[in-house]
Structure 1
Amino acid sequence: MNQPTAQPGLFIGMDWADQKHDIYVIDRQGKGSHQKLEHSAESIDAWVGEMLKLAGGQPIAIMLEQSRGALIYALMFREDVLLYPVNPKQLARYRESYPGSGKNDPTDAMYLSRMLRERIATLKAWRPDDENTRLIANLSQQRRKIVDGQTKLRQQLLAVLKSYFPVVLELFGKQHQLPLLLSVLRRPGGPG
């Protein structure tokens, strides 16, 4: 994916939500406006097209508080769209620098766009990982879930044995004896 080097035509802050997104757009002259966007592939696609037209051939820069998820995925492979994910703590600190500022979605979108416009020269646009890296990350995450599930089941089994059959844990309670315990539990005519 080629990263455009031109100055962005629009500075956009997006406050993500499940059903709709609050958006604040600042043009190159500094004029801002609030928008709402329904979360669907079609509406995101149409909205990006409108923003690119408004940008007059320049790329659009978008700052949002996430680095993965459906919204990032919908935006990450588009030409002329520069993404700037930001840590929520950074936004909270930025928000605190304005007196009387409270947290709400439209206001957060405005602060995201302001922060992006003010700091664009010091920020580097996010580049998505290549396909193989995303695959490895996904497989690693699935493996972690499986291991966590096995650990949870093992702990549940030990809790049940402690409650109903504590002598089994006395006989087979050592870590190296667990395979023997499982074979006894699986044996026809065994306990349970």
Structure 2
Amino acid sequence: MWWIIVLLYVTFDLNYFIRSIFTFVTIALSRRNNKLTDIITTYGICSTHDVDIFLNHMNNARFLRELDFARYQWYGRCQFWSKLASNGGAVMQGATIIRYRKMLPLFQPFRVETKLVWWDEKSIFFEHMFISWPDGFVRSVAISRQMASSVNVIQFMQQFEECHSRPRQPEEIRHWLEAVAVSSQQLRMEL
């Protein structure tokens, strides 16, 4: 029997699947009537599974994985997934930009605060802040773009009272989208 567990552990990233199940259970058990404009907080600790080759701080890729779980919490607790799916839509990760300010040490507890900051016809944009405990220092800031399929996001957001008026586009998102457009144009010219 133990060899089956070892085989599964080697073949699949069991930690990811266990964490996903735990995340979906906590969503089901938590208050799920948050507004889309609420800040949704998730909690974690930098474990030995998260560290880089020097074994002393969180690996850059693990920050991105934590964003997955933070978004799952936001989608579930705001009931965004279910409403989007009932309208025939879906979302997927489109892009992420992240700025690392200070390393997150091994065994350091932290929270990720996820906030919806803007949307356009095709996407919603989140700001995620990694904040260490107990000092409250912002270790990293990320912006993620979630691409929607089969719906016009601006029209879809109108069903949420708190989203009747779209906020101003943050300057960093405007610059980021300009850089993405330049990159896309260069790739098209190369092809």
Please indicate, yes or no, whether the TM-score normalized by the shorter chain is above 0.5. Answer: no
Structure with greater strand share of residues = 2
Considering only CA atoms, is the larger Rg found in Structure 1 or Structure 2?
A: 1
TM-score (norm 2): 0.24
Greater helix share, structure number: 1
Instruction: State the TM-score, normalizing by the size of structure 1.
Output: 0.24
